[in-house]
C-alpha cells in the first residue's frame, strides 16, 4: 500500500511539473511575442517619423528650389519693366530732340522772315537806301481811348514815338538825337529824323499808330546827309 501511495504522489508531482513546464513555455512564448510586437510597433513608428521628416525636407527643398525660379521671374519682370522704362525715356528724348529741331527750324524760318528788305534810294534824292521789315510790331502803349497824335516832348505819345524810332533803328533812346518829329502826311502817322549821338549817320523813320497796340515802324530811310541839322 505504501508503495502504491508513493507511486501516486510521484505521478501527481510529475503532472504538476509537466503543467508548470507547459505554463512556463506558454508564458515565455507570450513574452517573446509581446516583445516582438513591441519591437515591430516601435520600428513602424520610428520609420514613419523618418519618412515624415524626409517628406517635409523634400517639400522644403522643393520650395527652396522653386524660390530661385520665382526670384528669376521677378528679376525678369524687373528687367522687362526697366527695358520698357528705358525705351519710354528714349522715345521721350527722341520726341524732345524732334521738337527742339522743329523749334530751331521755326526759329531759323522766323529769322529768315525777319531779314529786313533793303532797297536803293527812297522818297527823295537825299535817301541812300530804304529799309523795311514785315516782322516789325507795334511797340505797345499805355494810352487808352481815342488816340490823338501829340507832338509835345513832354507828352506820353511823343515818348512812345521815340520808342518806335529806337526799335526800328536799334539806336538807344537815351543815346539818340531827335532832329525832327512831325506828322507823316496822314492822321495817326509820324516821321522823325534821328541819329546816334556823335554820329553823322542819319535816319528818317516813318511810323503808324495801331489802336490799342501803339506805334509801329513802317520804313526807315538812311539819309545821305542830315537835312534837319
Please say which residue of 100, 115, 130 terminates a domain.
Answer: 115
| Backbone angles phi and psi of 153, in degrees to 5 | -60, -25
Pair (79, 101) in one structural domain: yes
* Residue 228 placed within a domain: no
Pair (75, 143) in one structural domain: no
Please say which residue of 90, 115, 140 terminates a domain.
Answer: 115
* Residue 229 placed within a domain: no
- What domain count does the chain have? 2
Residue 102 CA to residue 91 CA, distance in Å, equals 16
Pair (82, 141) in one structural domain: no
Pair (109, 144) in one structural domain: no
Please say which residue of 48, 82, 115 terminates a domain.
Answer: 115
* Residue 70 placed within a domain: yes
Pair (129, 105) in one structural domain: no
Residue 194 CA to residue 158 CA, distance in Å, equals 14
* 147 Ramachandran zone, left/alpha/beta (phi>0; psi -120 to 50): beta
Pair (87, 4) in one structural domain: yes
Pair (26, 63) in one structural domain: yes
In tens, the pLDDT along 91-106 reads: 666 666 666 666 666 5
Pair (104, 15) in one structural domain: yes
Pair (53, 22) in one structural domain: yes
Mean pLDDT of 32-44: 84
Residue 30 CA to residue 97 CA, distance in Å, equals 99
Residue 126 CA to residue 181 CA, distance in Å, equals 18
pLDDT band at 75 (very low <50, low <70, confident <90, very high): low
Pair (60, 164) in one structural domain: no
Pair (140, 209) in one structural domain: yes
Q: CA 129, 134, 136: angle at the middle one, nearest 5? A: 95
| Backbone angles phi and psi of 19, in degrees to 5 | -65, -40
* Residue 7 placed within a domain: yes
Range with the largest mean pLDDT of 47-51, 120-124, 128-132: 128-132
pLDDT band at 214 (very low <50, low <70, confident <90, very high): very high
Pair (156, 68) in one structural domain: no
In tens, the pLDDT along 171-185 reads: 999 999 999 999 999
Domain of residue 28: give its range.
1-115
Lowest mean pLDDT among 105-114, 120-129, 176-185, 197-206: 105-114
Q: CA 193, 214, 160: angle at the middle one, nearest 5? A: 45
pLDDT of 220 strictly over 80: yes
Amino acid at each position: 500500500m505504501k508503495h502504491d501511495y508513493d507511486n501516486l504522489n510521484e505521478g501527481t508531482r510529475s503532472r504538476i511539473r509537466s503543467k508548470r513546464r507547459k505554463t512556463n513555455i506558454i508564458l515565455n512564448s507570450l513574452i517573446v511575442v509581446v516583445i516582438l510586437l513591441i519591437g515591430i510597433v516601435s520600428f513602424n513608428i520610428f520609420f514613419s517619423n523618418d519618412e515624415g521628416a524626409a517628406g517635409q525636407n523634400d517639400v522644403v527643398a522643393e520650395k527652396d528650389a522653386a524660390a530661385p525660379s520665382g526670384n528669376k521671374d521677378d528679376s525678369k519682370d524687373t528687367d522687362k519693366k526697366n527695358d520698357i522704362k528705358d525705351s519710354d525715356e528714349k522715345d521721350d528724348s527722341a520726341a524732345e530732340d524732334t521738337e527742339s529741331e522743329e523749334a530751331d527750324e521755326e526759329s531759323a524760318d522766323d529769322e529768315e522772315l525777319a531779314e529786313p528788305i533793303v532797297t536803293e534810294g527812297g522818297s527823295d534824292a537825299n535817301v541812300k537806301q530804304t529799309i523795311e521789315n514785315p516782322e516789325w510790331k507795334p511797340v505797345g502803349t499805355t494810352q487808352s481811348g481815342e488816340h490823338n497824335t501829340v507832338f509835345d516832348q513832354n507828352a506820353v505819345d511823343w515818348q512812345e514815338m521815340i520808342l518806335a524810332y529806337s526799335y526800328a533803328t536799334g539806336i538807344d533812346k537815351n543815346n539818340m538825337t531827335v532832329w525832327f518829329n512831325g506828322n507823316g502826311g496822314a492822321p495817326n502817322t509820324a516821321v522823325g529824323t534821328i541819329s546816334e549821338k556823335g554820329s553823322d549817320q542819319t535816319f528818317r523813320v516813318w511810323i503808324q499808330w495801331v489802336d490799342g497796340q501803339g506805334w509801329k515802324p513802317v520804313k526807315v530811310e538812311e539819309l545821305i546827309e542830315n537835312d534837319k541839322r
